[in-house]
């Protein structure tokens, strides 16, 4: 974020309720409320409410992608259904994009974690909740431009999940879909400063600048 701010971007750090204290979909509702606030107030801080991009890592990557793919979805905007929560671009980093597949290594354990701590419902009887929470389920032709980043050696969220998400985006979306598969990178590779983290931040800045230049916001 500091890298973007140093290049003139107006950045906002979002917070949201977390599990196990809170239950899905509180998390995405908070992100949507934050987007609504940004659109209403960012002009006072020098930002452009007509060009709002969203990014996040890990759980934030999941929420970033889901928010970008469900603009104005009333299921995730209780009490503010009429507010515009669309974004101009999305940059999810080492995120989870599928909450419902169970036939890959580690998937049953992940779904079990969601059952116990996040969704707090049985997958066998409430599968629809897990599907609706999955960004890959919401891929659409009018999705905004995406830049997906993932470490090739991520041992927490396998890179194959990013591959599947990007493949679906490129098959369905009419917008550009960029993907960076980072060799030797683990989960949360950008938490500490490093040449890899620096170049990743620079790539994100260039992507957003390109989207802004080629898809200027309506005024």
Residues noted as catalytic:
58, 154, 187
Q: What is the 3-state secondary structure (H, E, C) of the chain?
A: CHHHHHCCCCCCCCCCCCCCCCCCCHHHHHHHHHHHHHHHHHHHHCCCCCCCEEEEECHHHHHHHHHHHCCCCHHHCCCCCCCCCCCCEEEEECCCCCCCCCCCCCHHHHHHHHHHHHCCCCCCCCHHHHHHCCHHHHCCCCCCCEEEEEECCCCCCCHHHHHHHHHHHHHHCCCCEEEEEECCCCCCCCCCCCHHHHHHHHHHHHHHHHHHHHCCCCC
């Amino acid at each position: 974020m500091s890298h973007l701010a140093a290049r003139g971007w107006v950045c906002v750090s979002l917070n949201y309720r977390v599990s196990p204290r809170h239950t899905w979909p509180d998390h995405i509702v908070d992100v949507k409320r934050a987007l609504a606030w940004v659109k209403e107030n960012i002009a006072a801080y020098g930002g452009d409410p007509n060009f709002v991009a969203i990014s996040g890592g890990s759980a934030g990557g999941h929420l970033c992608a889901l928010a970008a793919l469900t603009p104005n979805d009333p299921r995730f905007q209780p009490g503010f259904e009429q507010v515009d929560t669309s974004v101009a671009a999305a940059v999810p980093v080492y995120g989870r994009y599928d909450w419902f597949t169970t036939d890959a290594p580690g998937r049953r354990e992940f779904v079990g974690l969601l059952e116990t701590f996040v969704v707090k419902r049985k997958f066998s009887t409430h599968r629809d909740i897990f599907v609706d929470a999955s960004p890959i389920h919401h891929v659409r032709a009018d999705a905004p431009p995406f830049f997906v980043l993932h470490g090739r050696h991520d041992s927490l969220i396998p890179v194959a999940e990013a591959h599947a998400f990007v493949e679906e985006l490129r098959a369905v979306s009419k917008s550009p879909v960029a993907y960076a598969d980072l060799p030797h990178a683990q989960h949360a590779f950008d938490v500490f400063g490093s040449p890899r983290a620096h170049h990743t931040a620079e790539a994100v800045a260039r992507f957003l600048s390109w989207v802004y230049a080629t898809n200027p916001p309506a005024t």
